Amino acid sequence: MHKTATTLADGRELFYYDRTAGTARDAVDERPLEPTASLSEMRLDPVLGEWVTVAAHRQQRTYHPPAGECPLCPSRDGRHSEIPAADYQVAVFENRFPSLALDSAAHVEAHDGDPLHTLRPGTGRCEVVCFAPDHDASFADLDEAAARLVLDAWTDRTAELTALPDIRQVYCFENRGAEIGVTLAHPHGQIYAFPFVPSRTARMIRRAEAHRARTGRNLFEDLLAAERATPERLVLRGEHWTAFVPFAARWPYEVHLYPHRRVRDLTALDEAERAEFPGLYLDLLRRFDRLFPAPAGSAPNRTPYISAWHQAPKDDGDELALHLELFTIRRAPGKLKYLAGVESGLDAFVTDVSPETAAERLQGATPH
């Protein structure tokens, strides 16, 4: 993997990732952009003890532009985008409309004196990861070499962002599909570098610590061993990775992908694990796309999904295990799983599809 660093017209960082060295990445961003100031705030919910980010400036972000005006396509034919180069393999840049930004402390004053109204600057970083230059592609369309390059980019960004002094956790994820809420159709994902440990991660850590205290063992190692011994929920099994539908899946079709060797984050994967991941992950994504076949004569189906890496926080979570969680909000052809009142209001999920049925369908979603 070869990395080239540059800056955009307003000073934001941009990184090109190529499979080999030698490709010139010296195109200049010619847009007349002014530096932006982030006014992101973090407000502490005194009832739940959870941080809520307020980023009102994001109301102005780009929203469903025409394909010819996509800001994630390469800059070509006189049209300038967020990617100055006329072509690229993988590109990562600072989000122009970030939820969190390192310069927030320069514009937002902290208020810690009142426990009911605690406010701090939204000091973090948000990056956009462009998986491919083809606007009409999808991650599932990549070959294994291209998917491996994305994995290498995720790993490099995890290492660099984790090293920043104010960052606690790095979260790499992809949202795909308008049904999910994606506002740019180009194949891309995002990386959030949080200055706090998000509540879901904190709950995982507490459960893992309690399991250790009760059994003397690691929760995630025990969970993986139990699921590998339960064939009805297994979807894919490799030499170094296993994908399964969790016993208590929240979403209609949800799969977790674990390396067999427990590690804290992407940087700790070894070469054998990195080499096997692309093939298994692409197989998994393509199975999701085959869950709901498109009508004859129409474009191939692309199932909306969220795919995310769960990594241990920098200074906590020794019991946490790196894993990827993938799920779709589609529950049947033409039907979406909307969060009901008990789910949105109480986080008390009610699933429409049994995990065993979901696994059976994914096991059978192979090419004809």
- pLDDT tens, position by position, 225-253: 999 998 999 999 999 999 999 999 999 99
| C-alpha distances in Å from residue 144, one per residue of 199, 225, 308 | 34, 27, 19
| 342 pLDDT more than 70 | yes
Instruction: Dump pLDDT digits (tens) for 173-227.
Output: 999 999 998 989 999 999 999 999 999 999 999 999 999 999 999 999 999 999 9
* pLDDT value of position 36: 81
**Distance between CA atoms of residues 78 and 141, nearest Å:** 28
Q: Residue 99 in contact with residue 77, Cβ under 8 Å?
A: no
The pLDDT of 158-172, averaged and rounded, is 97
Residue 99 · residue 26 · CB < 8 Å: no
Choose among 219, 291, 263: nearest CA to 227.
219
Give, as one character, the DSSP assignment of residue 34. P
Integer CA distances (angstroms), 134 to 73, 117, 131, 142, 250, in order: 7, 46, 9, 10, 33
Q: How many CB atoms lie within 10 A of CB 12?
A: 19
Cβ-contact 128, 82 below 8 angstroms: yes
Query: In which element (H, E) is residue 90 found?
Result: strand 90-94
Say what the pLDDT of residue 348 is. 95
- Domains in the chain: ranges and CATH: 2-196 (3.30.428.10), 200-363 (3.30.428.10)
Name which of 13, 339, 351, 343 is nearest 181 in CA terms. Answer: 339
- Please report, as a single letter, which amino acid is at residue 347: D
Q: Per the confidence metrics, is the pTM higher than 0.85?
A: yes
Helices (H), ranges, the chain: 144-162, 199-215, 219-228, 271-290, 341-346, 355-363
Q: How far apart are CA 40 and CA 100, in angstroms?
A: 6
From the list 304, 243, 274, the residue with the least C-alpha distance to 144 is 274
Tokens of 158: 């995890």
Closest by CA position to 57, among listed 97, 109, 107: 97
Q: What is the 3-state secondary structure (H, E, C) of 187-223?
A: CEEEEEEECCCCHHHHHHHHHHHHHHHHHCCCHHHHH
Q: What strands, in cross-sheet order, belong to the sheet with 41-45? A: 50-54, 41-45, 119-121
Q: Which residues pair with 14 in a beta bridge?
A: 6, 93
Among 92-96, 126-130, 261-265, 333-337, whose mean pLDDT is lowest? 333-337
Given pLDDT bands bounded at 50, 70 and 90, which one contains residue 6? very high
DSSP state of 300: P
Angle CA(304)–CA(306)–CA(307) in degrees, nearest 5? 130
Mean pLDDT of 21-39: 89
Partner residues linked to 50 by β-bridges = 45
CA 182 and chain centroid, separation:
13
Q: 């909306």: which residue's tokens? A: 304
Phi, psi torsion values for 349, nearest 5 degrees: -75, 145
Choosing from 80, 117, 188, 310, the catalytic residue is: 188
Question: In sequence order, what are the beta bridge partners of 111?
Answer: 119
Residue-wise pLDDT for 281-315, tens only, equals 999 999 999 999 877 666 778 999 999 999 999 98
CB neighbours of 163 closer than 8 A, spacing ≥ 6?
Answer: none
- Specify whether 64 is catalytic: no
Between the alpha carbon of residue 42 and those of residues 51, 60, 87, 109, the distances in Å are 6, 19, 37, 11
